[in-house]
Each structure stands twice: as structure tokens, then as C-alpha cells.
Amino acid sequence: MYILHSYYSSLLFTGRLLLLAARFVS
């Protein structure tokens, strides 16, 4: 279960980073 949580956290972090990058590029 811990692995799933870690994966979810990583995914959320990546999504936030992508959102920030997209906003910076625009």
C-alpha cells in the first residue's frame, strides 16, 4: 500500500511540475 501512495505522490508532484512548466512557457 505504501508503494501505491508513493506512486500517487510522485504522480501528483510531476503533474504540478508540468502545470508550472506549461504556465511558464505560455
| Tens of pLDDT, residues 2-13 | 888 999 999 999
With a cut of 80, say whether residue 1 has pLDDT above it: no
Residue range of the domain that includes 26: 1-26
Q: What is the overall mean pLDDT for the chain?
A: 93
Model pTM score: 0.58
Per-residue pLDDT averaged across 1-26, rounded?
93
In this predicted structure, what is the pLDDT of residue 3?
84
Indicate the number of domains in the chain.
1
The b/e string for 4-25 (b: 16+ C-beta within 10 A; e otherwise) is: eeeeeeeeeeeeeeeeeeeeee
Per-residue pLDDT averaged across 1-24, rounded?
93
